[in-house]
Amino acid sequence: MFRRTLVPVDFTPKNERSLAVASELAAGEGGELLLLHVVETLEDELDDDLDAFYRRLAERAQERLNALLARLGEAAFARRGEVVLGHRARAIVAYAEREQVDLIVLSSHRVDPDRPGSDWVTISHKVAILARCPVLLVK
């Protein structure tokens, strides 16, 4: 059902559950797991002065992404990781479109029932609203 599954990661412990869920889905379907890290940029267009700075951030992120991929071990599914620059929610949705992703598995947090509208500006909420494919929020 879900051939290509995207997991956006920010290298925090909350990503562990999303990775575990997405790995199970990919293994069960014989699919492909795509890990994505977005280096948040300050502006829409990259400034030449910031280019080296962003390049260093992207290189470090790629190293961490490679370590995450290695931790998955010899799983029964294809996997790869990529680092992109941009604004996180927009970059995740654009990547999902470009790579023809069937499902996005995204870390989320519990909504405070006393303040239900306060969490509507989170990345997970934006991606869930904007993505054309199904989105699974893992808490």
Per-residue model confidence as pLDDT tens digits over 25-60 = 888 767 899 999 999 988 766 667 788 889 999 999
pLDDT score at 36: 98
CA distance 63 to 113: 38
Task: Give Dmax (Cα) for the chain.
Answer: 46
pLDDT score at 117: 65
Q: What's phi and psi for 71, nearest 5 deg?
A: -65, -25
Q: pTM of the prediction? A: 0.89
Number of residues written out for the chain: 139
Q: Which SS3 state, helix, strand or coil, does residue 139 take?
A: coil
Neighbour count for residue 1 (Cβ, 10 Å): 9
Show contacts of 79-82: CB within 8 Å, 24+ apart.
79/26, 79/32, 79/33, 79/34, 79/35, 80/32, 80/33, 80/34, 80/35, 81/34, 81/35, 81/36, 81/37, 82/34, 82/35, 82/36, 82/37
Which residue type occupies 123?
I
Which domains, and CATH codes, for the chain?
4-138 (3.40.50.620)
pLDDT score at 119: 61
pLDDT tops 70 at residue 85: yes
Strand partners, 6: 34, 104
CA distance 88 to 40: 6
pLDDT score at 42: 83
pLDDT score at 66: 95
pLDDT averaged over every residue in the chain: 89
pLDDT tops 80 at residue 132: yes
CA distance 86 to 21: 26
